[in-house]
Structure 1
Amino acid sequence: MGKGNQNTSSNEGNHSVKQHTWQEITQHDKRQDKWIVIDNEVYDITEWSKRHPGGSKVISHYAGQDATHAFHAFHSDISIPKKYLKAIHKGSIQANNIKTAAIDTDFQDLRETVNKMGMFKPSYTFYTLNLLHVVVLDVLAYFVLRYFGTGWLPLITSLIFTVIVQIQSAYLAHDFGHTSVFGTKYKIDDFMERICLGFMKGASAKWWNHMHFQHHAKPNVLNKDPDTRLDALFVVGDVMPAQIAEKKKNSMPYDWQHRYFPIIGPPFLFPVYFLYALNRHIYTRREYLDFFFSICYWSRFFYLYGSVLGFGTALAFQVVMRMFESSWFTWVSQSNHIPMKIEEDDAKPWLRLQLNATCNVQPSFFNDWFTGHLDFQIEHHLFPTMPRHNLYKIAPIVKSLCEKHNLSYQVKPLFQSFTDIIKSLKRSGGLWKKAYDRFHGPDSTSVENNNTSE
């Protein structure tokens, strides 16, 4: 990380390397023909993407594009992926085709600066204390019921502790998943992510990484970011509403989505969609290790809580807990993205791509804890492997670079970031309604005829 635009292949001094133009490279963006560019070197990832540790889709989303900054952002130690690049090397970019955009050069300089500042070095004290407070609350959640009975006060107290444990475990798993703590060399992060997601939550680390890495690679990009695949219930942004209106005659009343989102969105994301999706991933991908940790969680939960509450009440406790956890997670995670631009992929530079899709929340001790430091979402998206306790330190530098390139660096109060979700959904729902009436209303015949003639 932070080694700048050093050549990632071993072809320095090799003057026989084939030269390619960008016009040629952009043609290799098909499912069975995928090239990417890293540090002006061209690589054929068609077959390699199937074995890519981060998943085939996350790397394939850059087919036909420059993946330099994404490559450095995702790999805390580039010496590991460098081992695989030589075998798939196709050549270099022609000298007169090399892109030297100021925004890319400045971001490269920023990456080198924050690396020299030691911003990628974790505080093991910070992570130890975070893990400790999760473990302590997890123990207290059970012993409150064991020693104070199952009345309303102990039950609610235990529920609150359990919700906090689940959310804070997810935040820790998020850090471990990004290899922000121990790095990739010894795979300790990988093991700890499975502990935090599997043993503590009953979830699948592999499924989460599969989805989350795509989101980071192309945030708010339609058909690439999984978080934008919401049209079963919602439309978002300015582009998606018209697309859905044109394709679907029988669809959700999206113009009401700002009203039904708080009811069916946040409370049911975890206990319904996530529960189905992660278990489907475990089954279809044969993720046996994730299955083992998931079984450990459910066995532990029903052994402990079932013995105190009984199976039926323990199950109800689990459902209610998941609904509160889901609401907490959804409001926090979507407040940084849904109100931002959501559009088709046009190969934006890394800095512009991330700033278009993310915003920050005003920091405070509570907001840091409540959001898992995702109140610094901009900095996290620019440097996903950076330990979260260092994000606030680089925020002024990032803001300065954004001002230089006339990029909007948005920072909102926490409550406003939540209300902006509703405002954004209302706006998108209104756009869908106008487009729907245009395509399928009384005057839609003339519209269809015009489209046909075109």
Structure 2
Amino acid sequence: MSVHTTGEPTVVQQRGESGAAGSDFSRLSKAITAAGLMRRRPWYYAVRMSLVALSYAAAWAAFLVVGNSWWTLAVAALLAVVFGQVALVAHDVGHRQVFRLRKASERTGRIAGNLGIGMGYGWWQDKHSRHHANPNHEELDPDVNPDIFVWSQAQAREATGLPKFIGRLQAYLFFPLLTLEGFNLHVAGVRALADRTLKQRRKEGFLLFAHFALYLGALFVVLPPGKAVLFLVVHQCLFGLYLGSIFAPNHKGMPTLTGEDRPDFLRRQVLTSRNVRGGWFTDLVLGGLNYQIEHHLFPSMPSPHLRKAQPIVARFCQEHNIGYLETGLINSYRQALKSLHDAGAPLRAAAATPGPRG
């Protein structure tokens, strides 16, 4: 079994002593369940979702109160953070951490995602489920498709178009390009409506376009056109940057898999994920996704339990000689950027090689 990586850290895949796929995870799962960490936390989510909803309403109220003033750009920055928190709630709802019933999860997810922030919930859930099934697998994980960035030197050698153009300097362009992620979410959600396999397609479309109408209507009614456009750009760019910065530390720079490289579930999730150390503030800003390893192993675990699960999972991985990586936030970004720079090496080499003379 081979694991490929384009930068730090290097992890060597090792089989469990039993050799049976999933047997190690079964033992870990029993320990987690026995600790009560898979129990739902209805009161926690009731409080959290209420606070997020109040913050959402307060931010828009501030927008109305501030009105036609340059201070409205500060409101745009505040609203970007609030939109990110709404996205994190939609994420937890999509993983069935909040509600036991699927219908309640989907209904709440569409209200938060489609109506609240203009993100196609059905499109996102399909994409995110495929990512969870095969994280960092170059053919199976949509998050490492070379559509803009190249994530390995093998992808760089095959790159054409935009990835080939960007790949040489992608480490320097990564965070600037994250500012476009908010716009990308909107476009992807609208494009997904053309897919007839999308569940509740009409409802998704109605809520999505209702968001756009209310959002743009509010901006252009309260603000003059130039200031409304500036508000939109600041808000959406900061929202994209915040959202991208939440997810960037989780897998970028970790080993990538190709072809038939598919370790058992436990190792597939642990070896391709990275945890970020921090306290309550880190938990709040990153929505618990700083415990990425535990989240990938137990995606339906309520986010406040991830911190408690962390020492159990870390100890289990140490006992079974499974590489478990935890680092600081800044270092996680450094590793991700170094990996991106290393992945683009073939493109830089090709650009530096003079072509044949006529």
| TM > 0.5 fold call | yes
- 1:210-225 map, 5 Å: 210-225=126-141
Aligned counterpart in structure 2 of residue 110 of structure 1, from 28, 33, 50: 28
Query: 1:66 aligns to what?
Result: none
Structure-2 separation of matches of 1:412 and 1:388: 19
**2:100 maps to 1:189:** no
Aligned counterpart in structure 1 of residue 155 of structure 2, from 240, 251, 254: 240
**2:211 maps to 1:290:** no
**2:328 maps to 1:413:** yes
Letter matched to residue 70 of structure 2: W
Structure-1 separation of matches of 2:245 and 2:335: 11
Query: 1:209 aligns to what?
Result: 125
Moved over 6 A (4+): 440-443
Query: 1:257 aligns to what?
Result: 170
Query: 2:343 aligns to what?
Result: 428
Say whether the 8 Å CA contact 2:77–2:238 is kept in structure 1: no
- 1:137-216 map, 5 Å: 137-153=55-71, 155-183=72-100, 185=101, 187-216=103-132
Aligned counterpart in structure 2 of residue 270 of structure 1, from 182, 200, 214: 182
User: Larger C-alpha radius of gyration, 1 or 2?
Assistant: 1
Structure-1 separation of matches of 2:277 and 2:249: 12
Aligned counterpart in structure 2 of residue 279 of structure 1, from 161, 186, 190: 190
Shift of 1:120: 1.6
Shift of 1:281: 0.3
Structure-1 separation of matches of 2:280 and 2:50: 18
Query: 2:4 aligns to what?
Result: none
Once the two structures are superposed, what CA deviation does each residue of 1:96-131 show, in whole Å capped at 9, x if it has no partner? xxx962563221011122123221222222212221
**2:251 maps to 1:333:** no
Shift of 1:243: 4.3
Structure-1 separation of matches of 2:264 and 2:51: 39
Say whether the 8 Å CA contact 2:271–2:324 is kept in structure 1: no
CA RMSD of aligned residues (A): 2.6
Sort the Cα spacing of 1:315 and 1:128 in 2 relative to 1 into closer, same or farther, 3 A. Answer: farther
Once the two structures are superposed, what CA deviation does each residue of 1:362-392 show, in whole Å capped at 9, x if it has no partner? 0311111111111000000111111111111
Unmatched 5+ stretches in structure 2: 1-16
Structure-2 separation of matches of 1:238 and 1:405: 31
Sort the Cα spacing of 1:392 and 1:125 in 2 relative to 1 into closer, same or farther, 3 A. Answer: same
Structure-1 separation of matches of 2:105 and 2:278: 26
- 1:31-50 map, 5 Å: none
**2:47 maps to 1:129:** yes
Query: 1:305 aligns to what?
Result: 219
Say whether the 8 Å CA contact 1:361–1:417 is kept in structure 2: yes
Aligned counterpart in structure 2 of residue 342 of structure 1, from 256, 267, 279: 256
Say whether the 8 Å CA contact 1:233–1:252 is kept in structure 2: no
Pick the structure with more strand per residue.
Answer: 1
Q: Normalized against structure 2, the TM-score is what?
A: 0.86
Shift of 1:433: 3.8
Structure-2 separation of matches of 1:158 and 1:437: 44
Say whether the 8 Å CA contact 2:90–2:109 is kept in structure 1: yes
Shift of 1:186: 5.2
Say whether the 8 Å CA contact 1:338–1:421 is kept in structure 2: yes
Letter matched to residue 215 of structure 1: H
Aligned counterpart in structure 2 of residue 393 of structure 1, from 308, 329, 333: 308
Query: 1:4 aligns to what?
Result: none
Shift of 1:357: 1.3
Structure-1 separation of matches of 2:52 and 2:309: 27
Shift of 1:161: 2.5
Letter matched to residue 164 of structure 2: S
**2:295 maps to 1:383:** no
Q: Normalized against structure 1, the TM-score is what?
A: 0.68
Unmatched 5+ stretches in structure 1: 1-98, 444-454
